[in-house]
Amino acid sequence: MTRILVLNAGSSSLKYEVIDLAAPDERVGGIVERIGEPGSGVPDHAAAARRVLDTLGDTRPDAVGHRIVHGGTRFVEPTLIDDDVEAGIEALVDLAPLHNPPGLAGIRAARAVLPHVPHVAVFDTAFHATLPDHAAAYAIDPAVAAEAGIRRYGFHGTSFAFVSRATAQFLDRPIEELRLIVLHLGNGASACAISGGVSIDTTMGLTPLEGLVMGTRSGDIDPGVLLHLARLGRSVDEIDDLLNRRSGLFGMAGSNDLRDVASAAEAGDPSAGLAIEVMLHRLRKYLGAYAGEIGGVDAVVFTAGIGENAGWLRARAVERLGFLGIAVDAERNGRGDGARRISPDGSPVEVLVIPTDEELEIAEQTAKVAFAD
Ligand code: AMP
């Protein structure tokens, strides 16, 4: 019982990977795209799920793990899916109207084509269920917050769970004694302060919009900006589109890929240069803030597409933090792949690159729940 199908449903795509936990490096996977687009031949997620199974042929999974973005306050652990859980995830659509519907569609489609295997929902928010109240609460009227489910939830939880454990392994130290700042820098980006293996603060909030500058998302912004735009006549949908899809690197510099923005900056494009400086400014701010909040740091860990590949950005993110003992060695930072140390020998704070593996984390959590005795 070790073959897990991991499904990650987006609004118009269904990513899949089959991971045999007995041989996790040999994987079969792919993506069904353009779901619901005219002429694509994939009218809905149900059709996409059937296509995935056709592709897999005889390689039938023993269980299915579903990546679900928002678990609200109800789902704080990976959860075996039955009709009641499915209804519970549907009830969260109000809280995460952009993010939960595709996941729900994926669950329905996969349960229909694979009714006899266990299905498990793994939530991006779950790792942050430990946030202390002072990090979870927004400073607003608690009655309003309670009525609308408004609090800070945090996301990228499967990645932070995987990377924090992998960091403890890499350092050969018990996770319980580690104070970590993990920077998950991909197209979506967030930072997490992890003390003793537990999330104590993270940059994303009610939705994955808060915090760091991302590929297309603004990250932190004065909420007064939204009010101002609304008073100028912009609709809710327009503001949503502006902040979620036309901001960040893309909004400031025309591409959501940091490689493009970096080459444009090098060629002298001032908006590309500014986008990078704003991104770095936000990163340094949170590094300093989290060091203060945890009360010290054992390791700063970079992960995801940007964190694992953009050495120049890692170096610049920590360039003024030498007074906290955080520094990178230029030569180590410039080469290598896989899990590695990039801080100088004898440095008080370890600076590491630890590749994330959200699919493997989902597969492992799924197996634990699906085949628990
Ligand atoms: P992810 O969401 O984790 O897959 O990360 C994807 C993002 O990583 C891309 O949009 C790029 O901006 C970024 N990325 C990947 N490789 C590099 C690289 N060598 N240099 C800079 N950015 C990179």
3-state secondary structure the chain: CCEEEEEEECCCCEEEEEEECCCCCCEEEEEECCCCCCCCCCCCHHHHHHHHHHHHCCCCCCEEEEEECCCCCCCCCCEECCHHHHHHHHHHHHCCCCCHHHHHHHHHHHHHHCCCCCEEEEECCHHHHHCCHHHHCCCCCHHHHHHHCCCCCCCCHHHHHHHHHHHHHHHCCCHHHCEEEEEEECCCEEEEEEECCEEEEECCCCCCCCCCCCCCCCCCCCHHHHHHHHHCCCCHHHHHHHHHHCCHHHHHHCCCCHHHHHHHHHCCCHHHHHHHHHHHHHHHHHHHHHHHHHCCCCEEEEEHHHHHHCHHHHHHHCCCCHHHCCCCCHHHHCCCCCCEECCCCCCCCEEEECCCCHHHHHHHHHHHHHCCC
Spell out the domains of the chain, with CATH numbers in brackets: 3-123 (3.30.420.40), 174-358 (3.30.420.40)
Residues β-bridged to residue 132: none
Q: Which of 62, 124, 201, 257 is catalytic?
A: 124
CA of 259 to the centre of ligand 1 (A): 7
Residue whose CB lies within 8 A of the most ligand 1 atoms, among 259, 266, 302, 361, for a mutation test: 259
The model carries a pTM of: 0.96
Residue whose CB lies within 8 A of the most ligand 1 atoms, among 250, 306, 337, for a mutation test: 306
pLDDT in tens, the chain (373 residues): 689 999 999 888 899 999 999 999 999 999 999 999 998 889 998 899 889 988 988 888 999 999 999 999 999 999 999 999 999 999 999 888 888 999 999 999 999 999 999 999 999 999 999 999 999 999 999 999 999 999 999 999 999 999 999 999 999 999 999 999 999 999 999 999 999 999 999 999 999 999 999 999 999 999 999 999 999 999 999 999 999 999 999 999 999 999 999 999 999 999 999 999 999 999 999 999 999 999 999 999 999 999 999 999 999 999 999 999 999 999 999 998 999 999 999 999 999 999 999 999 999 999 999 998 6
